[in-house]
Structure formats: C-alpha cells, structure tokens
Amino acid sequence: MDPWINLEFAMPMPLLRRPPFVLLDDSRKSSVAGQSRLFHDPEYIITANTLDEVPDALKRIDAAYSDGLHVAGWISYEVAASFEEKLARLYCGKAPEPLIWMMATRHMARLSPHDTLEHLDAASIGTQRRATLKAGPPDTDKNSYLSAIGKLKDYILSGDIYQVNYTYPVPLTLSGDVLALYGQLRTAQPVPYGAFIDTGPVDADNPAEQYQILSLSPELFLSRRGNQLTCKPMKGTAPRGNTPTSDADTVASLRTDEKSKAENLMIVDLIRNDLSKMARPGSVTTTDLFSVETYPTLHQMTSTVTADAEESLLPSDVIKAMFPCGSVTGAPKIRAMEIISELEDTPRGIYCGAIGHFSPPKLTAGGESPGPDWTLNVPIRTVVLDHFGQGRISIGSGIVADSDAESEYAECNLKARFLEEKGRNFHLIETLKYNPAAHHSGDEALTFLDLHMDRLQASAAYFGFPYDAASIRAALDAHTSALPHLNNSTDNNSTGGYYRLRLLLADTGAVSITSVAVNSMRKSAHPAKVYINKTRTDSRDRFLYHKTTRRDLYDREYKKASAQGFADTIFLNENGAVTEGAIHNLFARFGDQIVTPPVSAGLLPGTLRANLLRTAPNIYTERHLTVGDLEKADALYLGNSVRGMTEVILDTAPD
C-alpha cells in the first residue's frame, strides 16, 4: 500500500480508537481550511524523560527524518534547558508527560475537512458522544498572581527584561469520552493548528501511563515548505465585541493599541534573531506586521516573519535555534526564561512547547520533490489529560512595564473561555411577515425585508457564516411565489391574515425557509399582559445580540408565559436593567416620548425597533429602563416586525 495516499476506511477499528496516533487538524470551515494530517501505525516511538535523554532523542528524530519517515508529536517547553547552561542549572523537573514524545512512521494521511469529520464520526459510533470538563481552582490564586506580576515589573524596571510571559495551570477533570470532548472543542474553536494526540501506554511496565493531548492552537511556531521558513508569532489580545459594530471597533482599537504593537514588535525582533541563526544570510523578512486575526472569543494580533533555509537543515537544527517560541517567553529570551523558572510554580510541559510534524521530501510521479514539509504550532489553549481523565490547561499573558495586573488577570480568564464555548451548532434566523395581498398590489410584501437582510448579513459576518444576498432573496421569492392567497377578513376588529416565514442560515451558507399561515385574528378589547421574568440574562452573552437557534431560555419561558395567557415575559439583565421580551422588543411611553432599552443592555436589535428609531427619532429614543420605570410609564408596548405594536400592561408573575 502506498502510505502517502488517503487511508482505507475498512479498518477493523477506527484509527482514532487505535493509539498511538497524531492528528494535526485544521478545523476551520471547509472554504478556508487546508489539509489535516493523521499519523498512525508508527515504526517506533522516540521519547525523552530527562534532560540527559534529549540529545539522543534529537539524533533519533534527525535519523528517522533522514530515513524518509514522518516524525510527529510534541516537544515540551522544558527541553530548552538542554540547549542553555543557564536554564539547565535552574531545571527542577518536568510535567507528568514525557519531555519529548514523537512517533516515527511511514503512514500519514492527508485529510480534507470532510475526511476528518468522517474519521471522527467513525470513531464515535457506539461510544458516549458527550463529554464535560470541570475546572478546579487555579494552582496560582489571584493574590499570588498579582504578587508575581509585581515582581516581574520590578525586573522590567531594573532593566533585566523588556517583556515576559507569565503563565499558570488550571486543573481539569474529564467526564465522558475524550474523543467527544475534542469534537466539541474543535467545533467551538475552529483553528488552523489544532491537534489530537493519543499516546497509548508510554511505559510497558505501567499501562495506565497514557496521555491525550487536545490542542486548539491558532498560533504557528514555524513551518517549512520546500526551503522557505515561516513564523507567525501572536502577541496582543482583545475580546470579541457582542455586536458587529462593537466588534469592528475592537479590531480597530487593537490595530492601533500601542501596548499590543510594542509587545508584538519585541517578539518579532526576537523571532528574526532566532531565524537568523539558521537561515541563509540576509533572507529574514518581516511581512504583515500587526495584522489582526479573529477567533470565536477573541481577536489576536499577529505578524509574519519568513526566511530561506539551507537545504541541509535538519529538525534538530530548528529546535536548537528556535525553541521555545519567543512569543511565550519574553525578551531577552534567556533572561526571561530564567525569571519564568524562578516565579512559575510548576513546569509548563507541552504548553508553550511545540506540537507538529517533520515530513521529508517525497518524489512525485515525475521525479520531482516538493521539498520538506514541516509544521510546528505553539501549544496554547491545550488540554493535557492522563489515562484517568485528570489533567490541566495553562493560561498566561505578556507582561511589560505598563501592564496592569488586574487587566492581565482578566485577559487570562478570557483566554480560558474557549472551554465554555458550545460550538457553531446553530443557525441564524430571520422571522419575516409576508402579506400576499401586498405582493399582488405591488406594495412591500415582506415587511422590512432590507432591514432583515442587513441584520442577517451582519450576524453572518460576525460568526463567519457564508452569506449570499442574491441567493437568499431568490429563495425568498421562490418560496413566497408558491404560497396561496389568503382570504382576509374585512372586519375592522380583526387583523388581516398573513404568512410568518422562518429563514434559517447554516454555517455552510445553506438556506432553508418554512412558513405558517396566520389567519385573521380578533383584536382584544383589553390590553394584553406581561410579567417580569425571574431569570436574569447576562449582557456579556453575545448570543443575545444575534437572532439564532440558540435560544432555549427564551423559547421555554415564552411557552410558559403563553400557556398562562400572557403576551410575553420581560427579562432583566445582571444589573437589573430591562432588556426585552422573549419574542418582542419592549417600549415604554412617557408623555410624547416612547423609550426602548439600548442594545448594550443585552437584547436583539429588532427590525421594527430599528425602523421606528430611524424614521421617528423625535418620538422613539433609547435609554436604560428599570422595573420602576415600567411601573411609572403612561403605556407599555410590545413590538416586532411580524406582530407590529401591541399595548400591554405589567402584571404579577405567575407562580
């Protein structure tokens, strides 16, 4: 069998249930993702458990590569102590997993995004498909963290260092299946340099010593394509905004943030220096300085550094010259690592080391070689688990002279949020009112269609969903053209009949439309009722600002309210501010002014609401409202683009 072609799927057991293996995974959407690589069935495993074993392990890596084998796995952060006497003197031991674990194999499959999903699905058949991670308290509490940052700033002010990365681990416990966990994480955090490694037992005398590594890293340490070397250090972080507007403002702010740019430039200079140790003289070049990349929970500033490699360059040459990546140490590099050794309480292990592969040149059918193919990531956002489901994730940030310790602590907490993300297993929604009579008369048959399209486009851009306005409009036209005319009542006490359309946009760009006929309804002689819901929403939840299928709370509470005769239930946020109903925006009239809560309170920018604020700004305004304000208002209204405006009264919540 040619080991370079895609794998057969008729295996007795799925490959992702047959350790050891290394899956290097580009989990981004198929329109931008490159190939993933699955290494399996090794000829042998290369390990180092002490610093004394590192030189021999590196020689074995070079030998395997030179013999035409793929070498894939990890190198722990502490391996750097093998190359620098100052660090060797400070070495206090390793993390539980080996310092180096690399498989040498002839078997590598290049996988398309579809192939990768097929492997994951095949390995999940008949197994538990759910998993949860429970995080314990960090090994470094907040007071200890703040104290360490104070000491680091003293070192910076004294001129020892310019910048340093300080990190700490958070213990984790897995409940469920590790493969299910990886599937959840890769869906929630699509990245170009992900990895799932299962070592199988690493010690024949101790079968329980087995490690599973789940890395969701966005950061490239180093790649080699032919004789071009590329590094893409990340330094500079900002949280995603909740709305498209606030998100764009955050990106613009990060691009011009002097602290982030200064940190990024320091690391770029360090990377350039490391590359120059092994690159062809004069070939080191910086491109795309201070770019911003967007991920589900945050934005990252990156820069790109390239160089030309000598053809004779071996994996060990790169490791000795570059390791570890400067973006996770500081500058000057060695002094920063000495201080890290002094102040961090536990070894970093795989975290901040490298995960990746060294694949040798391969002759094509025409006798030409595409050259070496190497990729190493920086293992940030990386979960390390043992055979018993116990493990850790480490988080950290870069410290400079003007760093604020409280802000850095908040940044670390932000970076850990990727474990909480549920993934893109949702659709975007637009609910539209369609009036067939208006369609035939030439009036606007789909109410506020342009506003609905604008909102859908903004949310699609925010979440990275493909959006084709022409195709969506064509689908709407085709759907509505097939709907029969409704017999509307001419009774002045009735509302006219219409269709309620539900448009779903998937993360693939696929569109589906369903519709329900709503017949003429008698208008009530008495105002409808609403009540204040007991469940508080959180204005930091970005899904409140976008109409998606991820709305379990609202669906549940609306069903409960409707069953008890209420028109809707009104939510308050974590600060007690009024937000919205489950399916309506809320409006309160005070004299000639009608007020609606601002979007920043944590609510959906409804299209009816947007139209009223735009067309009647002298009447409709935004400001924060409290329950007391609602009780004092001259009138309350619910509104959405399908049902229009309905007057309501505030009533007592049901038991």
**pLDDT band, residue 465 (cuts 50/70/90):** confident
Q: Note the pLDDT of residue 146.
A: 94
Q: Is the pLDDT of residue 404 over 50?
A: yes
d(CA 35, CA 12): 25
Q: Note the pLDDT of residue 531.
A: 98
Half-sphere exposure of 111 (CA within 13 A, CB side): 25
Length of the chain equals 655
d(CA 305, CA 285): 6
End-to-end CA distance of the chain: 69
219 in catalytic set:
yes
- Percent of the chain having pLDDT more than 90? 71
Closest CA to 225 of 123, 307, 288: 307
235 in catalytic set:
yes
**Got the DSSP string for 12-80?**
SS-GGGSSSEEEEE--S-TTT---EEEEES-SEEEEESSGGGHHHHHHHHHHHHHTT-EEEEEE-GGGG
Q: Note the pLDDT of residue 34.
A: 84
Q: Is the pLDDT of residue 129 over 80?
A: no
Label the pairing between strands 498-505 and 44-48.
unpaired
Please identify which of the residues 78, 219, 263, 411 carries the catalytic annotation.
219
Q: Which residue has the higher pLDDT, 419 or 363?
A: 419
Per residue in 52-103, pLDDT (tens digit) is 999 999 999 999 999 999 999 999 999 999 999 999 999 989 999 999 999 9
Average pLDDT over residues 300-329: 95
Q: Kindly give, in sequence order, each residue whose CB lies less than 8 Å from that of residue 552, ignoring residues fewer than 6 positions away.
A: none
The pTM assigned to this predicted structure is 0.79
Instruction: Name residue 44's beta-bridge partners.
Output: 104
DSSP state of 584: S
CB atoms within 10 A of CB 259: 15
d(CA 598, CA 621): 9
**Got the DSSP string for 465-493?**
----HHHHHHHHHHHHHTSPPP-----TT
Average pLDDT over residues 137-163: 93
Per residue in 34-44, pLDDT (tens digit) is 899 999 999 99
Closest CA to 646 of 584, 555, 578: 584
**pLDDT band, residue 437 (cuts 50/70/90):** confident
The H or E element that residue 207 is part of is none
Q: Note the pLDDT of residue 443.
A: 58
- Percent of the chain having pLDDT more than 70? 92
Per residue in 498-541, pLDDT (tens digit) is 999 999 999 888 899 999 998 765 566 678 999 999 999 999 89
Average pLDDT over residues 180-209: 87
Q: Note the pLDDT of residue 8.
A: 43
If you average pLDDT over every residue of the chain, what do you get?
90
Half-sphere exposure of 642 (CA within 13 A, CB side): 15
Average pLDDT over residues 8-20: 74
**pLDDT band, residue 133 (cuts 50/70/90):** confident
Please identify which of the residues 232, 235, 333, 433 carries the catalytic annotation.
235
The H or E element that residue 594 is part of is strand 593-596
DSSP state of 523: P
Domains (range + CATH), the chain: 15-420 (3.60.120.10), 426-523 (3.30.470.10), 526-655 (3.20.10.10)
Per residue in 257-289, pLDDT (tens digit) is 998 999 899 999 999 999 999 999 999 999 999
Q: Note the pLDDT of residue 126.
A: 64
Q: Which residue has the higher pLDDT, 364 or 33?
A: 33
d(CA 127, CA 315): 38
Q: Which residue has the higher pLDDT, 130 or 555?
A: 555
Average pLDDT over residues 550-569: 96
